[in-house]
A and B are shown apart, each in its own frame.
With several copies, the nearest count.
Chain A
Amino acid sequence: MDDLYRDYILDHYKQPRNFGELDPHDLEAMEHNPLCGDELGVHIRVKDDRIEDLRFHGHGCAISQASASIASEELIGMELEQVGKLGADWMIELLGIPVSATRRKCALLNLKVVRSAVTGDHAWPA
C-alpha cells in the first residue's frame, strides 16, 4: 500500500468533511500555496470563544484537501486561543503520513488559513 495515499487520505480527499460555505460567519480568510497556486478559504462561526462551526472551500491536491478535512473535525469546538497556538507538528501528526519537505505546504495550508482567520497571522505554521 502507498505510504502517502492511504485509504483514509483518499477518502477524505474524495469526500471532504466540512467543505462548503457558512453564512453567516464571524471569521474568514483565504490563503494560497505559492508552489501550485492552489487556494483554500475558510468560514468560521464563533460562540463562547470557540469555533462553533467551520467550512473550508477551494481546491487542492489530495494532501491539502485531506488535511483540511481531517483538521476540520478537530477544529470544530476548539477554543480560539488554542487554535492560535497550533503548530505544524499538530497537523502533521494528525495527518499520520510521512510528508516530504516539498509537500509540507500542502499539508499546512489549512492550518495557515485557519490561523489567518483567527489571529490575523499570515505566516506559515512553524
Chain B
Amino acid sequence: MPPVAESALDVKGDFPIFARRFDGRPLVYLDSGSTSQKPKVVIDALAGHLRNHNANVHRGVYALAQEADAAYDSARSRVAAFTGAQPETTIFTKNVTEAINLVAYAWGRANVGPGDAVLITQMEHHANIVPWQVLCRERGAELRYLEVDERGELSLEQLDVELARGDVRLVAVTHVSNVLGTIVPVAEIAARARAAGAVSLVDGAQAVPHMAVDVEAIGADFYAWTGHKALGPMGIGVLHGRREILERMEPFLTGGDMISSVDFQSATWNELPYKFEAGTPPVAEAVGLGAAVEYLGRLGMDRVRAHERALTGYMLERLEDVPGLRVAGAPEAEARGGLASFTIEGMHPHDIAELADRGGVCIRAGHHCAQPLMSCLGVSATARASIGVYNEPGDVDALVDTLLAGREVFGL
C-alpha cells in the first residue's frame, strides 16, 4: 500500500527528536510547513561552534576570531551554493519576514511612489502582504492582488493585464503556497515582470527545503527564505538579491559592521553583503544552516522532492478515506509541495488538530498567516498536514487513524 519506491528516504534516525515518546507514543510530526525538525548534524554543528569556535566575526585578529570568521564565511558560501547564488549577494537576516521587510523598507521606500502599484497574490503569507500594505499606505501606492483559482493557481493572463497597466513597480509572489501547496511558476512570472520593467521578489520559505531551487535560473530580483523551515536553526533567514539593485539600495538596519566609515554627521556603507548585516550576526545559526544545506545536498534535492512528492500523493489518497474531508487546492501531488490543507464537515480545524494530538500526530490548525486567502476559500481556518524529509508513509497512516478516531469522538 505505501507508495514508496527507490525515491524513498529513510532518515528519521538522523533527527534526535524522533527518539522522544509522548505518552508512550512516537512523535508523528506533520507540521514541517511551520518549522522543520533538525538533524543531529545541525544541532551538533551549532553547539560545536559555541563550544569550540565562538568569537565575534569580522574584526578579530586572534586565531579564535579567525576561526569564527572562517566558519561564518564558509556557511555563507555553502548556503549561496545550495541555491545557486553568489555569497556577496546572499544576505543573512533573522528570518524571511525580516528579508521581505528589508526589501520593503530599503528598496520600496525609494522606488515605490504615488500612483505606483505593488502586485501580490491572494495566496501570500502575511509576511509577503503586510509589509506591502504598510509601504503602499506610506507611499500612496496601490496594492493589487492576482487571483487564485479553484486549483490554487494563478492566471498568467491576469498577470499580463496587470503588468500592461504600466504602474506595477514590484511583483511579489510565493514560490510554494503554505496553504494550498501550489508550486508557482516563479521564473515565468519574474521574466514577465522584468519585461514590463517591474522588480520581482519570490518568497521561497516553502520551496527551498523541499525542491532544488536555483535562484540564478529563476531570475527574480529578490529571493527570500528562512532557515528554520530548511532543517536549520531559528534566528536566521536569507535574502538573495540582484547585485546592481543591492548596490544602488540604501541600507536597512544601520550600526556596526555595515559601515565603511562613520563620522559625527554621516557614514558610508560597507561592501555587499555586509552593507545589509548590521550588528553581530547569528554566527552559530549560520553554521547550523550551513550544516543543514550540506545535509540536504547530500540527500540530493531531487531525491528529497521525489520522496516528498510520493508521500504527498499517498497522503492525498489516504485522506479520501476520511468522510467529509475536503482538501484545498490541486488534487495531484505533482502540482504541489508536500502539504495538504483540509477541513472536515462538522469539526472545527482546532478540534481536528487537538484530536490528532491525542494520537501523537502534530498538525497545524488556523489561518496559517494567510487570512486573505482564507477569506477567498470562505473559511476562517483549515487544518494542515505538511511533510518533511523525515516523514514516512506510516506517519500518514497515523494521521488518517486519528482523523477517523476524532470523527468518532465528535459522533460523526
Contacts and interface: CB of A to CB of B under 8 A. Distances in A.
Interface stretch (B100-108, B287-295, B365-373): B365-373
A57 B358 CA distance: 29
Contacts of B366: 35-37
Interface string A55-95: 00001111101000000000000000000000000000000
A92 to B, nearest CB: 16
A34 B61 contact: no
A121 to B, nearest CB: 13
Interface size classification for chain A:
20 to 34
Interface stretch (A2-10, A17-25, A42-50, A110-118): A2-10
B10 to A, nearest CB: 32
Interface of A: prevailing SS: loop
Interface string B149-163: 000000000000000
A62 B367 contact: no
A12 interface: no
Given A10-B411, A36-B381, A62-B348, A102 B61 contact: yes
A37 B261 contact: yes
Contacts of A37: 261, 366-367, 371, 374, 380-381
Interface residues of B, number: 31
A103 B367 contact: no
B374 A34 contact: no
Contacts of B58: 35
Contact of A34 (B69, B260, B347, B350): B260
B110 interface: no
A36 B354 contact: no
B350 to A, nearest CB: 4
B380 A103 contact: no
Contacts of A103: 61, 350, 354
A104 to B, nearest CB: 11
A115 B159 CA distance: 46
Given A101-B66, A101-B70, A102-B60, A36 B410 contact: no
Nearest to A5: B409
A32 B261 contact: yes
A60 B348 contact: yes
A51 interface: no
A62 B351 contact: yes
B70 A39 contact: no
A59 B365 CA distance: 15
Contact of B381 (A5, A10, A38, A62): A38
B59 interface: yes
A106 interface: yes
B65 interface: yes
23 contacts: A2-B358, A2-B409, A5-B351, A5-B355, A5-B410, A10-B409, A32-B261, A35-B59, A36-B348, A36-B366, A37-B366, A37-B371, A39-B380, A59-B348, A59-B380, A60-B348, A62-B347, A62-B348, A62-B351, A63-B350, A100-B66, A103-B61, A124-B271
A-B pairs, top 4 by smallest CB distance, nearest first, are A61-B348, A61-B350, A37-B380, A37-B367
